Amino acid sequence: MIEGLLRCWRRGNSRGNARAGALAADMLNRFARMMFTDGDPARPNCFEHYNPHTGRACHFRGIDDYQHSWILDLLARGFGGLHVDAAGIEVRPLPGGPARVSLGQVAARGCTVSVEVEPERVSATVDGERFDGPRGEGLRVPWAS
């Protein structure tokens, strides 16, 4: 569901499809809050099953799990706003996401990319070169030729 909302939001104009963005941010925020054992931010987890009434993780296996890659992808694209395509990267975090996000050094098309989201600004660093822009607009960085 979140994946579909992210895609709809990205297809909008430079500010995105506002309704899809708001729904994606709300759902991703609620989903992310479920992923901490006993609400402890030092224990991020992702379990296979959650109680549909309470949202609490089912600990039937007796072990802490981990953050699956598809969840990290949703967080990077939604809260970090990172989108990678053939032309370059775009940083456009969801409206209503966390005020600050730091997405450090990911590999994208042979480059090293990091993203910082602040309340008013976003920045992307591609192979050591930093680019900045306002948070409410997409920051587009083309691949070096």
- CA 91 vs. chain centroid, Å, equals 10
> What is the Cα–Cα distance from 122 to 137, expressed in whole angstroms?
9
Per-residue confidence (pLDDT) for residue 100, from 0 to 100: 94
Question: Residues 123-137: what's their mean pLDDT?
Answer: 95
User: pTM of the full predicted structure?
Assistant: 0.78
DSSP string for 44-74: B---S-B-TTT-PBP-TT-S-----HHHHHH
Domain limits, the chain: 2-142
Asked whether residue 2 carries a pLDDT value surpassing 80, the answer given is yes
